[in-house]
Amino acid sequence: MRTRFQQGLDDLRTRLLRMGGLAEQAVDRACQAYIDRDLARCHMVLEGEFQINVAEREIDEVAFDLLALQQPIAVDLRFILAVTKINSDLERVGDQAVNIAERAMDLVELPKADLPVDIPRMAAAVSAMVRRSLESFIEGKAELAQAVLEMDNVVDRMKDEAFITLVKTMNERPEVTRQALDALLVARNLERVADHATNIAEDVIFWVRGADVRHNVSAEPPVHQASTDTR
């Protein structure tokens, strides 16, 4: 057993989970800030982005060192590659949370408007996708990741519906155009967060099964499910 290498992998896993926690928290906070028109929460999201960016760089450094010094192969190589890609996706999730918080900050200054779009429902669906994609990473279970992929279509439909109804609202009620535009942008940001959660799930499947399932190009079903025990 390569003890130092194992410690490096454990360190990488712990750091990514912490990063995942930060990104998940950022999305939840941003959505709640938008729903409650809560300026204080918006600021928390903006401040939290710095931590996410620092974590991203640190994870890349640890992964880079492991690749250079330990020459990982097979499941270990797949794990490290998956971690670096998940790391990028989580950082982008943090960026999307900031975008949502900025829309919320814009909204705070505008009068309340009743819009025909259910952002809280969409936010809950997206938040569940992020959480489950991270659970699939923690558990090393491709089945959990697969379930995330299936949820993405639901969020895509929500975004499409939001787009149609909000454009219609903007035409019919020009006085709420800015609020509708903010809602539309939030829906688009949420849909992108869902895309990142999907990417994370795909990377987990790659790590666990060695199968590249991106872009709906299905790989050969594996003969053997390789070990994911990196402990």
Partner 1 sequence: MGVGIKVEKLNAWFGRTQALYDITMEAPANHATAIIGPSGCGKSTFVRCLNRMHETVPEARATGGVKIGELDVYNGTSAVQIRRRIGMVFQKPNPFPTMSIYDNVAAGLKLNGFHDHARLDEIVERSLKLSALWDEVKDTLRKKSGASLSGGQQQRLCIARALAVEPQVLLMDEPCSALDPISTGKIEELIFQLKEKFTIVIVTHNMQQASRVAEFTGFFLLGKLIELDKTEKIFTTPSDKRTEDYITGRFG
When the beta carbons of 217 and 223 are compared against partner 1, the nearer one is 223
Q: Quote the least distance from Cβ 195 to partner 1, whole Å.
A: 26
CA gap 30, 93 in Å, rounded? 11
End-to-end CA distance of the chain: 10
Helix (H), strand (E), coil (C) string for 122-140: HHHHHHHHHHHHHHHHHHC
Instruction: Output the smallest distance, CB 200 to partner 1, in A.
Output: 20
Nearer to partner 1, 40 or 73 (CB): 73
The least CB distance from residue 45 to partner 1, in Å, is 39
State the residues that interact with partner 1 by CB under 8 A. 1-2, 5, 71-78, 209-210, 222-224, 226-227, 229
Task: Give the shortest CB-183-to-partner 1 separation in angstroms.
Answer: 44
CA dihedral 191, 28, 23, 16 (to 10 degrees): -110
Residue closer to partner 1 (CB basis): 2 or 121: 2
Nearer to partner 1, 159 or 209 (CB): 209
| Cβ proximity of 130 and 23 under 8 Å | yes
Among residues 114 and 220, whose Cβ is nearest to partner 1?
Answer: 220
d(CA 95, CA 196): 11
Cβ–Cβ < 8 Å for 193, 119: no
Count other Cβ atoms within 10 Å, centred on residue 85. Answer: 16
CB of 63 to partner 1, least distance (A): 16
